[in-house]
Structure 1
Amino acid sequence: MSFYDLSYEQDKFIHYAKENTRSFFEHHDHIPSSPGQVALAKELVRELKDMGLDAYYNDKTAFTIGKLAKNTTDEVTPIGFFAHVDTADFNAENIKPQVHPNYDGGKVYLDKDEAIVLDPAEFPDLLNLKGQTLITSDGHTLLGVDDKAGIVGALSMLRYLVEHPEVKHGDVYVAFGPDEEIGCGGKYFDPHDFPGVQFAYTLDNGRPGDFSYDTFNASESTIHIKGTVVHPGEAYGLMVNATTLMNEFLSALPQNEVPEKSRNHEGFFLVIDTTGTVDHADISMIIRDFEWDKFIAKENLIKKIVHKLNEKYGSDRFTVKIRRQYENIYNGLKDKPYIVNLALDAYRKCGLTPHVQSFRGGTDGNFITPKGIPTPNLFNGGGNYHGRYEYVTVEQIDKLAEVLTMIITEHLRQSREGRDERPLEKYW
């Protein structure tokens, strides 16, 4: 039993998936970073207007904004949803979605000639999708589930509410934004485009039932090291090799606090790039942790190592710059349990067992939450994001539409009868 029209959801997803909206970090100073994003964003404006919504494209932020006006006299605060139009750093040219009806749980040959296979032996979550309509790429591009499945889920929800005016709701806002994959889009979102919205949800990666309101705190650090160049034949007591100093700095970092040795709720240091000569060396790295105190301690450790090495080699040998990238969403909603409880209540009413997990990364919600709109993440269905093995089922998109509608109607009910303000439990 589908919540809405599976054929509509399938057709819309395939149509949007074919559009190349890949974002490019090297163009991050242009918003959006690729012209395909503008084309899809403006197409979505037309789609929303065709449904009867108020909609527009914000040229300054590259966000498409849509509003479905309330159809009730009840006092209920507006609610918002976010999905992004861009796709990740993987081939997105000439995407050819493949539809596999009534998937049997076996191997799916994306390209038989090149033996590109989506195999449940390698990706066991596929076994949970038996009987559903599976959509994949042809194995040579990504598919764009992240986040075009989120877009279609939001559109399907809006279409349902428009066609069922007997379902009462408050104002509903949607925003389809740019450049999430390169960490830029959410920075530019203008809260004035969501008047009165006190909380929202992103519709980003995850299976039905997944929910995240705990993400990394994140910063990036650059360390510059100055050496002293002297002819090697006369270097004794004079030369200071910047590359040697760089290696000493790297050796002082915690050797077990790295991504390949971290999981669950553990943070890490990640050295992204190093360059070095005798004269100078540079280190680029990122710092991640969920707990604020541990995150600050990691930033301070970098400064402490630099200070000690400057004491050893001279006060101006090392310089460090740390730039804060984003903060954990939990910091902005830990005292607002209703936002989390509302989503979990809706999941259960839709027959989903909530799977609350820490999100080992960031979403647009990390940038939108500090703007005064706390924004945890729901799901968009599918799996194997960002590569040739991406997949989604039409039924998972449909379940997202059902959950969004339930959140909206449950929000109205609780506005009438009392909000679920039970204190948050830590699931980590």
Structure 2
Amino acid sequence: MTESSGNEWHVLPALSSLLGLHSDVVRSLLATGFYAFMSGAMAFMNKNLVSNYNFNCPMFILLIQFLILVFCFEVLKTCKVISLSNYSMKLGSSLLLPSVCYIASSSFALLCLNGLNIPMYNVLKRLCPLFNVFLGYFLLHKYHISAKVFASVLLITLGSILAGYGDLSFQLDAYAYGILSSIAQSIYLLMVQKSSKEDNLSVLDISYITAVNAFPLCLSAIFIFDEFSKLRDFHGWFLEGFLFHFSLVTVSGTVLVYSQFLCTAVTSALTTSLGATMKSVLTTIIGFFTFGGVHVNGTGFAGIILNTLGGVLYTFFKYIESQKKSTSNISTSSKLASNTRNENVGVRKESTGLSGYVEVDLDGHSNDDSPALRRYPQVPMSHSGSRSGERDPGKSSES
């Protein structure tokens, strides 16, 4: 992912102009908050659709979301608001497995929400780092994890076990869907990480190619799982508020993808994960008071707390590691740049016999833009050691 040039923000020019956002800090905070809000809101909107309206057609929901997403991508690309790689069979095939995993993760998450409350759903979704540890070793072959990060992963796992043990409304199928969703998401993220390095694709390119791949995959899944029969037999199409909530879910899915891209482009991928962690904590707290609350005993409540704490520590330790790595990279780059400038200064000094000037750095630096650099005239030396401008007593001026 390349650094943002600021153009990504202007996809929302009206909002930027309305709020007078000229500070990078304010823009970053607003982008992160926007993503956290959309990510958290989607969980509640999906929960409302599959639980209150009993609309259990995840592939149809995803199909509509991807259609809207591809349409928006094409419009923005045509209007030259964004830059996208052209879809090709080569790129599509390279991201075929990640696309399948993304669809599986999203569909399992929708099925999981039908039987789980929001806090327990968050508990299972936080298992992604655990699967990343094991799957990353096999998929990336060089997956390194520090002791602190591994300890936070163990805390997340312990909290998940305790939360499940203390869940008084335990549903095995819902837990299975939640675990499968986390596994599929981990594979998707790891495969995307691998593909982005090999094919040099941006987050936006990956989202676009995944959405195009997803259309035929979702359509095939609708036939395989016979969702057409469920759609035909569903009697809630004209219930009050259903079409509004269905439209809200499908459109918000597209907005969520954009908010994730915006947050990553304006800030960084790590800041996006920080926003996701913030969202997870807030939705867990809100989930205790919505959709009937949470039915757990003391063990389950302690498990939720430990799981949430583990998720926060995991993000914090990853942030510290990223800062150290960034500092180390900057230091290495500075040393290389300094060595390069020193070599350039050496080259200029060797050539001064022809130009008649030597560049002198009064502060001991070799920065060409430094005001401390001054030019002083140099009088070339003759082979005898005397100044070429002085007369040699043993020779006449003609010589």
Q: TM-score normalised by the shorter chain: which range applies?
A: under 0.3
Q: TM (normalized to structure 2)? A: 0.23
- The structure whose residues are more often strand, as a share, is 1
Give the greater-gyration-radius structure (CA): 2
Q: TM (normalized to structure 1)? A: 0.22
Greater relative contact order (Cα < 8 A, sep 6+): 2
- The structure whose residues are more often helix, as a share, is 2
